């Protein structure tokens, strides 16, 4: 019997399903190599959900579709899941990038008005409408690079009023795009100037006022746990208060110097510990024994021109659940390209093509508690697809320097196409390309 579906995506040169492993939960160690690749693959979609995946000839014999899209010549993966980004900002910071390239250190850049506090001033000056427009533009930028699910942090307001403005801007911007968004409150990103002389007062403000009042606008709370920013005791206070307010936890941890940030994240049951360039052996051991995902951000180290990439090979060998993310932000990593991050992960952290695919799909989805919805192409999940103009899935990491994403598909609908040379009918049935 032939079943009716809304749409068939057919003739994918390679369809990377990740269905060789379980539908939910993180992939660790050798399981990160299991991709479930189908040649001349097809996806059947009904109501925005995947009904079936398989060879084109089989799905065409089993399903009748109202619309069909031929993806001949393309490699198709689950939509990327970017689980660490900072897209709510008002101005870019290219001047300090060039200062850094010329040899200026952080103190010189800060003295010239740069750094996180530069972004703070811009956000405080921006209207809600302007901030919303900027955030929406940034969200569409993720879509252009094949990302369909994004974790988005505040953290450039650093006051109750301006963090609320940031989260509301993100809420409105998210409603204007088809992407799936998770919001993270990052009031503990830095100490604002008015609290530099009394840092404990700012921690009290975070715990007693900002977190309780802003928790309804967020899904997670994050903290920049690092010597010179929020020390271990201050970070723990912030995260404990957030947990009491019903927020899930994330943490910037062990980026510049080891501080036991990964261990703290595990101890508090955080969904992720991020950066981890200086993670300790004990931190690796604790992560491996937990469901806290180690989110690696190699683009930041690359962009800052520093040594200290996270020890991905040791973490994978130990059994850590490893994810990749862009860390898109105006100061230390101005990219929204997961494919570029994958290249850096392969070259600098020696991850394999299969591992970076897994670390860009199901593992970050697990860190966002969305693994039952996205991250693989198991039937029942959202039909989120990234269509790549590359010769095979093994070209992940190998192909860099441009945007290989030909089309981004969310909930079974093409939402953005980056090619113009094909017949216009190729995009029939979706929104107009942006």
Query: Dihedral of the CA atoms 336, 337, 342, 343 (nearest 10)?
Result: -120
Q: Give the per-residue pLDDT at 108.
A: 81
The answer to whether residues 231 and 304 belong to one domain is yes
pLDDT in tens, 284-307: 999 999 999 999 999 999 999 999
Task: Using alpha carbons, list the distances in angstroms from residue 82 to 19, 20, 23, 85, 360.
Answer: 20, 22, 19, 7, 7
The answer to whether residues 57 and 184 belong to one domain is no
The answer to whether residues 24 and 35 belong to one domain is yes
pLDDT in tens, 107-133: 688 778 888 999 999 999 999 999 999
Examine the pLDDT at 333 and tell me if it is beyond 50: yes
In whole angstroms, give the CA distance from residue 384 to residue 179.
10
Q: Give the per-residue pLDDT at 297.
A: 98
Q: State the DSSP H helix or E strand holding residue 309, giving kind and residue range, or none if neither.
A: none
Residue 76 near residue 317 (C-beta atoms within 8 A) = no
Query: Could you tell me which of 117, 130, 129 has the C-alpha nearest to residue 159?
Result: 117
Q: Give the per-residue pLDDT at 107.
A: 66
Q: Give the per-residue pLDDT at 418.
A: 87
The answer to whether residues 322 and 380 belong to one domain is no
Which domain, by its residues, includes 69?
3-78+375-427
The answer to whether residues 74 and 84 belong to one domain is no
Burial label for 105, CB within 10 Å (0-12, 13-18, 19+), is: exposed
Examine the pLDDT at 262 and tell me if it is beyond 70: yes
Please tell me the total number of residues recorded for the chain in this structure. 434
Query: Residue 46: beta bridge partners?
Result: 49
Q: State the DSSP H helix or E strand holding residue 43, giving kind and residue range, or none if neither.
A: strand 37-46
In whole angstroms, give the CA distance from residue 337 to residue 358.
16
| Confidence category of residue 434, pLDDT binned at 50, 70, 90 | very low
The answer to whether residues 10 and 126 belong to one domain is no
The answer to whether residues 380 and 231 belong to one domain is no
| Residue at 385 is within a domain | yes
Burial label for 37, CB within 10 Å (0-12, 13-18, 19+), is: buried
Domain stops at, among 367, 394, 419? 367
Residue 166 near residue 187 (C-beta atoms within 8 A) = no
Query: Could you tell me which of 155, 151, 171 has the C-alpha nearest to residue 163?
Result: 155
Examine the pLDDT at 212 and tell me if it is beyond 50: yes
In whole angstroms, give the CA distance from residue 433 to residue 375.
24
CATH number at residue 36: 2.30.40.10
Domain stops at, among 367, 397, 418? 367
User: What pTM did the predictor assign?
Assistant: 0.96
Q: Give the per-residue pLDDT at 126.
A: 98
Examine the pLDDT at 419 and tell me if it is beyond 90: no
pLDDT, mean of residues 387-391: 97
Domain stops at, among 367, 393, 409? 367
Examine the pLDDT at 421 and tell me if it is beyond 60: no
| Confidence category of residue 430, pLDDT binned at 50, 70, 90 | very low
Query: Residue 3: beta bridge partners?
Result: 63
Find the radius of gyration of the CA atoms of the chain. 21
Residue 311 near residue 284 (C-beta atoms within 8 A) = yes
CATH number at residue 271: 3.20.20.140
Q: Is 150 left (phi over 0), alpha (psi -120 to 50) or beta?
A: beta
In whole angstroms, give the CA distance from residue 157 to residue 166.
7
| Number of structural domains found in the chain | 2
| Residue at 165 is within a domain | yes
The answer to whether residues 259 and 400 belong to one domain is no
CA 16 to chain centre: 19
pLDDT over 90 for what percent of the chain? 91
The answer to whether residues 156 and 40 belong to one domain is no
Strand 3-16 with 405-410, pairing: unpaired
Residue 324 near residue 353 (C-beta atoms within 8 A) = no
pLDDT in tens, 128-182: 999 999 999 999 999 999 999 999 999 999 999 999 999 999 999 999 999 999 9
| Residue at 433 is within a domain | no
């Amino acid at each position: 019997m032939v079943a009716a579906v809304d749409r068939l995506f057919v003739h994918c040169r390679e369809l990377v399903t990740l269905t060789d492993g379980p539908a939910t939960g993180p992939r660790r160690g050798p399981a990160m190599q299991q991709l479930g690749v189908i040649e001349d693959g097809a996806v059947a979609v009904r109501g925005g959900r995947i009904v079936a995946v398989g060879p084109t000839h089989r799905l065409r014999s089993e399903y009748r579709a109202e619309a069909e899209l031929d993806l001949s010549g393309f490699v198709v993966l689950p939509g990327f899941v970017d689980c660490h980004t900072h897209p709510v900002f008002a101005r870019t910071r290219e001047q300090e990038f060039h200062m850094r390239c010329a040899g200026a250190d952080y103190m010189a850049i800060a003295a010239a008005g740069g750094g996180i506090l530069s972004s703070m001033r811009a956000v405080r000056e921006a209207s809600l409408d302007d901030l919303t427009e900027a955030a929406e533009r940034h969200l569409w930028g993720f879509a252009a690079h094949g990302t369909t699910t994004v974790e988005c942090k505040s953290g450039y307001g650093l006051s109750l009023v301006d963090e609320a403005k940031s989260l509301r801007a993100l809420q409105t911007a998210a409603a204007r795009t088809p992407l799936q968004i998770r919001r993270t409150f990052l009031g503990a990103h830095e100490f604002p100037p008015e609290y530099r002389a009394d840092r404990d007062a700012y921690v009290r403000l975070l715990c007693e006022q900002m977190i309780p009042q802003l928790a309804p606008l967020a899904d997670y709370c994050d903290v920049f746990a690092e010597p010179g920013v929020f020390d271990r005791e201050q970070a723990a206070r912030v995260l404990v208060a957030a947990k009491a307010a019903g927020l899930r936890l994330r943490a910037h941890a062990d980026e510049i110097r080891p501080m036991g940030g990964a261990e703290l994240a595990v101890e508090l049951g955080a969904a992720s510990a991020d950066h981890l360039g200086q993670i300790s052996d004990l931190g690796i051991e604790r992560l491996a024994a937990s469901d806290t995902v180690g989110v690696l951000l190699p683009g930041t180290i690359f962009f800052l021109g520093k040594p200290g990439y996270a020890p991905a090979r040791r973490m994978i060998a130990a059994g850590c659940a490893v994810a990749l993310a862009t860390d898109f932000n105006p100061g230390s990593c101005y990219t929204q390209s997961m494919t570029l991050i994958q290249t850096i992960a392969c070259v600098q952290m020696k991850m394999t093509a299969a591992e970076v695919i897994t670390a860009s799909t199901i593992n970050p989805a697990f860190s966002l508690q969305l693994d039952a919805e996205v991250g693989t192409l198991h039937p029942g999940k959202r039909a989120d697809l990234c269509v790549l103009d590359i010769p095979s899935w093994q070209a992940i990491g190998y192909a860099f320097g441009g945007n290989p994403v030909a089309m981004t598909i969310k909930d079974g609908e093409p939402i953005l196409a980056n090619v113009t040379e094909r017949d216009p009918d190729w995009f029939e049935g979706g929104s107009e390309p942006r």
